[in-house]
A and B are shown apart, each in its own frame.
Chain A
Amino acid sequence: MCGIVGLFAKTERLQPELGAHLAQMLAIMSDRGPDSAGFAVYSAPVPGAIKLTLRAPEGYDFEAMASRLGGALGAVPNITVRATHAVLAIPAGTLASAKSWLAEHAPEASIVGIGETMEIYKEVGLPAKVAERFGLAAMAGTHGIGHTRMATESAVTTKGAHPFSTGPDQCLVHNGSLSNHNGLRRTLMREGLSFETDNDSEVAAAYLTAQIKGGKSLGEALEASLEDLDGFFTFVVGTGTGFGVLRDPIACKPAVMAETEDYVAFGSEYRALAVLPGIESANVWEPEPAKVYFWEKAA
């Protein structure tokens, strides 16, 4: 099953309350995915820095690790710890050396996402609990996407939870199941991509990453997925500037969208959107199968 939500603030006035809305939407989608939950929030960038979201086992000392990393980089990273996750803002030019330092000196901490604005949090447990642990309700941002998981293709683990990062400031949430993910994973591994799970959605994320690395735009990569991915899916893809939606041509997996002057919202079911302000007068519709939709902030 699984539930997906997305919220994109068209106006500044919605931005401070973005996380509060997203948290409510996630909690309502618990019926569709009580195993685990995750979300990506696109919040204010740190000037000159790039944000790394790291995940580590319960009780991990992120602060100590950050100061050791700071010593190696010659610049102390700005760190925000939230339960099992931490966001490190490091000077943009030091990303490559930070990644290799982390791989060598902090193997318990894995990188969940990288970007100027994107932060990703995911954990096993009821969606409302997960949102509470990370303090989602207090987060501000321009847009965010979230996922509630009912595992079908692989184990209930934090690694198997969504969103999956597909590139800098880019991530994917998926509702559905892919039937050709094993073959596709082997192909992508030959092309040099690495995988952390047996999860089909991770393959979808890696597929999009590979397509984008090959020169396609995100929209083109999504179009290509209609040819190459076999199975059921509704995807919501978060990017630095907004989010995209795609349903497979058979469109078994549900999707509802709503738009007002203040926001564009996505939900697996209308119930998830019913909590949003002004929803009574919103334009509400079902996205068409096999059609790529994008909402982005004006440049």
Chain B
Amino acid sequence: MTAMVEPAVFDLATTPLRELNRTLHALRPDTNMRHWRVINPAGRHAIACGLDAPITVEIEGHAGYYCAGHNKQATVIVHGNAGVGVAENMMSGFVHVKGDASQSAGASAHGGLLLIEGNAAARCGISLKGADIIVKGSVGHMSAFMAQAGTLIVFGDAGEALGDSIYEARLFVRGSVASLGADCIAKEMRDEHRALLAGKLEAAGLAGEVDISEFTRYGSARRLYNFHIDNAGAY
């Protein structure tokens, strides 16, 4: 039986950030210190970076750059906005931003789920390598640039040059797309894609929140994979 443990509180107004990260890094996978609260984050950078334990860290306020970067296993909840590069290079786990995220959210993330309740700025999911990103608001320009694998699901709109030079990542946008990047095209939504999207939303606890038929699928036209002289202008 798991004992009920009160969350441990770290006050960044009085405790150095390095001490927080050092403490979290030292946790073993079988730790019973599974719930942490970070107060007074004041936009500090690299909060809860490099975690590798099945713990939950709740950040009570706005976080700075690279919050929850390189995350593995952990659940990191930001009760506010997140700065540049939230959950960048995440390997697994769950990062939940209750407010907006700045640029490069989920950049090159390999696995896990990044859920953003508000908007994400430019370059959301740049070089995405396998994670799932769900943005309930809109995403800025150059989102999913060179995205290789994984899914980016946007409930709102996407900015200019969505999916520029995309590889095999799957993009679903419910609203408008300002423009598509090189080699990114709208694709048919077949049953398998609707099932995939429904599965991702369900896994994120968002089943029934939006009508799946309202999404358009975007992906690679696969014209830029190999050099072809006719495409020289697009490289």
Binding site for B on A (CB under 8 A): 249, 251, 254, 256, 269-275, 280, 284-286, 288-289
How many A-B pairs fall under 8 Å by CB?
45
A269 adjacent to B103 (CB under 8 Å): no
Would you give the shortest CB distance from B122 to chain A, in whole angstroms? 6
Q: B-side binding surface: helix, strand, loop or mixed?
A: loop
Are A271 and B44 CB-contacts (below 8 A) given A280-B61, A289-B122? yes
- Contact residues in B for A254 (Cβ distance below 8 Å): 83-84, 102-103
Q: Is A270 within 8 A of B81, CB to CB?
A: yes
B-side interface residues toward A, CB under 8 Å? 42-45, 61-62, 64-65, 80-81, 83-84, 99-100, 102-103, 121-122, 140-141
In the complex, how many angstroms separate the beta carbon of A275 from the nearest chain B beta carbon? Answer: 8
- Of the residues B61, B65, B140, contact of A289 by C-beta under 8 Å: B140
Are A271 and B42 in contact (CB-based, < 8 A)? yes
List, in ascending order, chain A residues with CB within 8 A of B102's CB: 254, 256, 286
CA distance A254 to B85 in the complex (A): 12
Q: How far is the CB of A31 from chain B (nearest CB, A)?
A: 9
Residues of A with C-beta under 8 A to B83: 254, 269-270
The answer to whether A251 and B103 touch across the interface, beta carbons within 8 angstroms, is yes
Is there an interface contact between B64 and A270, defined as CB atoms closer than 8 Å? yes
Residues of B within 8 A of A284 (CB): 62, 80-81, 99-100
Interface centre among A251, A270, A284 (most CB of B within 10 A): A270
Q: Which residue in chain B gives the minimum CB-CB distance to A288?
A: B140
Given the complex of chains A and B, what is the CA–CA distance between A285 and B80 in angstroms? 11
Of all chain A residues, the one with the shortest Cβ separation from B84 is A254
Task: Give the nearest-CB partner of A271 in chain B.
Answer: B43
The minimal Cβ–Cβ distance linking B140 to chain A, given in whole angstroms, is 7
- Complex Cα distance, B178 from A249, in Å, reads 14
| Residues of chain A lying within 8 A (CB to CB) of residue B65 | 269
In the complex, what residues of B have CB within 8 A of residue A280's CB? 61
Contact across chains for A285 and B100 when beta carbons are under 8 A apart: yes
Partner of B62, one of A270, A275, A288: A270
Cβ of A186 to closest chain B Cβ, rounded Å: 32
Q: List 19 A-B contacts (CB under 8 A).
A: A251-B103, A251-B140, A254-B83, A254-B84, A269-B43, A269-B64, A270-B43, A270-B62, A270-B64, A270-B83, A271-B45, A271-B64, A273-B43, A274-B62, A284-B81, A286-B102, A288-B140, A289-B140, A289-B141
